[in-house]
Amino acid sequence: MFRSLLIVPAVLFALAHPSFAAPQVPASKPQTAEQEPQAKPSATERAVVTSHKARIGGKELSYQACAGTLPVQNDAGETEADIFYVSYRVQQPSPAKPRPLLFVFNGGPGAASVWLHLGALGPRRVQMLADGNMPQPPFHLVDNASSWLDVADLVFVDPVGTGYSRAVKPDLTKKFFAAQADIDSLGRFIRLYLTRNGRWDAPVFLVGESYGTFRSAGLAEYLAEHGVALNGLILVSSVLNMQTISFDYGNELPYQLFLPSYTATAWYHHKLAPEMQADLDRTLAQAEQWAATEYLWALNKGDRLTAAERKEIAEKLARFTGLSVNLVQNRNLRVDNRDFAKELLRGEGRIVGLMDSRFNAENPEPGKHLAFDATIATIRPPFTSAVNAYLREELGYQSDLEYFVLGGGIGRWDWEAKNSYADTGENLRNAMVKNPYLKVLVASGLFDLATPHFATDYTLSHLGLGGDLRQNISVKRYRSGHMMYLEEDSLVRLKMDAAEFIGTTLKR
């Protein structure tokens, strides 16, 4: 299923740097009803259902929450893992049209769905400061007036090795830590959820963030091959082609694609020349134009640049990034995201975040490589505390397992193929060609140094779609980071954009 394209799959949340490769995946074949074994409850499968009320979109809603697990079974009907999920369903009068159903994934690989669950879409959310920064502990949940529950039922899914999702035997665990196995297990989960809950007649959408967009694009074709035609995909901080974010020797692509995000970050921290500080949109357009033309030309020319040309490019690169001319010259006109995060505020003794470059923290070891992501340091404690309290105290789900919010349950990710970059862009294209009704909404943050907006734009413009299908893709940008919903204004706008997208998709 995956196009064989070398990857640093940024473990997008862990932002690690080991190189892996992507699998060659054969096209999957639908199973007939006679071939498919009946899913049976595993020994550990259980669910807790509770009733709640919330005021969302100006209206009071009554809904049921279900926290539980469903089995992942192989073709022989043997349970190999249990996937934990939390779903929310608004009760409808029986003759009413089925509500849209959203399956929601985060990224990593290794991140649980808690980030979108308690950050943006769910009826409760973690209370952060208005700009998205961490408040003083202890941390609290508040009602989420911008929840998406008023427009669709929601299913938050934790892939195996995240949240409470586990393989049933230790020797089976490694099987799920691979791109295709991840998609296969989640595809089986979706089909079983639709069956168990009688939702085969519902409009179905996938919502993914970060690596969750990569798996969602793969799932779109996988599900189509198994008879599930999606209505839409919502891709938050998208990355489908890992070549666009992998700072490898010989791969020039990320340097030009990250540059506009460096410019936005330097603008936010007031590191640009006064005339460039005046208007972010105008400055960003200039940065994108220069990155795609003169800077790309210089990168491609490589060692053939004359001394005068190199000096001119270094001066312009410094102007667009807020870095010194000497530094960009010493980096051979190529500054990766971790180097930029460490160097931009070096004069103040601070580093900027990778997933949200508006955030910054003290740099404890200025002479060494970037020690940590200031964004993760900001978000991990409140979301970890909140999800553990929420599941036990409000949803009544009791477990002694550790809820893996971000790593901890995932081992080395296996991409299987050699000398290639992982890419599910082709899967998205195939899904859209097979199902011309499939619509896609892409949301990008301007201050995202993990999956930058310009890299997403590049991928979308290289899917190989005809003009009519290109019209099925819409793109929104936010003055926020990778998790744009941490900031209250962007949280509200993301909900408005998603609600409009879902509504418009279903009217056509």
pLDDT in tens, 377-406: 899 999 999 999 999 999 999 999 999 999
Domain with CATH 3.40.50.1820 in the chain: 47-244+380-507
Is the model's pLDDT at 443 over the cut of 90? yes
Single-letter residue type at 319? R
> 332's torsion region: left (phi>0), alpha (psi -120 to 50) or beta?
left
What is the homologous superfamily of the domain 47-244+380-507 according to CATH?
Alpha/Beta hydrolase fold, catalytic domain (3.40.50.1820)
pLDDT bin (cut points 50, 70, 90) of residue 462 is very high
Tens digits of per-residue pLDDT, 52-87?
A: 999 998 899 999 999 999 999 999 999 999 999 999
Among 444, 441, 440, which residue's Cα sits nearest to residue 477?
444
Is the model's pLDDT at 35 over the cut of 60? no
β-pair partners for 82: 71, 166
What are the residues whose beta carbons fall under 8 Å from the beta carbon of 197, sequence distance 6 or more? 87
Token code pair at residue 427 = 């899967």
Residue with tokens 């940024």: 10
Least confident of 1-15, 99-113, 214-228, 240-254: 1-15
Is the model's pLDDT at 16 over the cut of 60? no
Q: Average pLDDT of 336-347?
A: 96
**Cα–Cα distance, 241 to 252 (Å, whole number):** 14
**Cα–Cα distance, 140 to 124 (Å, whole number):** 10
DSSP H stretches of helix in 152-225:
179-196, 211-225
Tens digits of per-residue pLDDT, 344-383?
A: 999 999 999 999 999 999 988 776 777 788 899 899 999 9
171-175, Cβ contacts within 8 angstroms, sequence gap of 24 or more = 172/80, 172/81, 173/411, 174/411, 174/414, 175/80
